[in-house]
A and B are shown apart, each in its own frame.
Chain A
Amino acid sequence: MFDSSDMFRAFQPHRGRAIVLVTGTSGRDWREVSDNENRDLSLQGAMGQTNTAALGFALAQPDEKVVLFDSEGSLQMNMGVLGTVAGMKPSNFVHFLMDNECYATTGGQPVPNATDINYAGMAREAGYKKTFSFDNLEEFTNNIEQIMKEEGPVFVAMKMIPKIENEPIGRRVRKPQRSRAETIKVLQSELGITAA
Chain B
Amino acid sequence: MVQQQAALLKPESLVAEFKKNGVTHIVTIPDSETNYLYELMQEQDWLTVVPTSREGETFAIALGLIVGGKVPVCVIQNTGMMESGDSIRGMSLDAGFPLVMLIGYRGWTRHGVITDSAARYTETFLHAMGINYYLLEGDDDASRISVAFEEARSQSRPVAVLVGDEYHGFNRV
Contacts of B51 in A (CB 8 A): 84, 87
- Among A52, A54, A188, the residue within 8 A (CB) of B52 is A52
Of A75-83, A99-107, A136-144, A167-175, which stretch is located at the interface?
Answer: A75-83
Within 8 A of A (CB), among B43-77: 48, 50-54, 56-57, 59-72
Q: Determine whether the beta carbon of A45 is less than 8 Å from that of B94.
A: yes
Within 8 Å of chain B (Cβ to Cβ): is A57?
Answer: yes
In the complex, the chain B residue whose C-beta lies closest to that of A87 is B51
| Closest partner residue, chain B, to A194 (CB atom) | B69
Contact partner of B64 among A58, A87, A195, CB < 8 A? A58
| CB-based contact A41/B50 at 8 Å | no
- Find out whether the CB atom of A78 lies under 8 angstroms from the CB atom of B57: yes
Partner of A45, one of B50, B61, B68, B91: B91
- Secondary structure type dominating chain A contacts: helix
A196 and B24 form a contact (CB under 8 A): yes
Residues of A within 8 A of B91 (CB): 43, 45-46, 49, 53
Identify B90's interface contact among A46, A59, A61, CB under 8 A: A46
0/1 string, A13-54, CB within 8 A of B gives 1 = 000000000000000000000000000010101111110111
* Cβ contact within 8 Å between A60 and B64: yes
A46 touches B86 (CB 8 A): yes
Picked from B24, B65, B86, B95, the residue with its CB within 8 Å of the CB of A47 is: B86
Q: How distant is the Cα of A195 from the Cα of B62 in the complex, in angstroms?
A: 13
Check if A46 sits within 8 Å of B70, measured CB to CB. no
A55 contacts chain B at the CB level, 8 A cutoff: yes
B90 touches A56 (CB 8 A): no
The 4 closest A-B pairs by CB, nearest first: A56-B64, A60-B68, A80-B53, A46-B90
Given A46-B87, A49-B59, A84-B52, 16 additional A-B pairs, CB 8 A: A41-B67, A43-B63, A46-B56, A46-B86, A49-B91, A52-B60, A56-B50, A56-B66, A57-B65, A59-B25, A59-B65, A80-B57, A84-B61, A188-B69, A193-B67, A196-B69
CB-defined A-B contacts under 8 Å, sample of 21: A43-B64, A45-B63, A46-B87, A47-B86, A49-B60, A49-B91, A52-B60, A56-B27, A57-B67, A58-B64, A59-B25, A59-B50, A60-B65, A61-B69, A78-B56, A80-B57, A83-B53, A88-B50, A180-B95, A193-B69, A196-B71
Chain A positions near chain B (C-beta within 8 angstroms): 41, 43, 45-50, 52-61, 78, 80-81, 83-84, 87-88, 180-181, 184, 187-188, 193-196
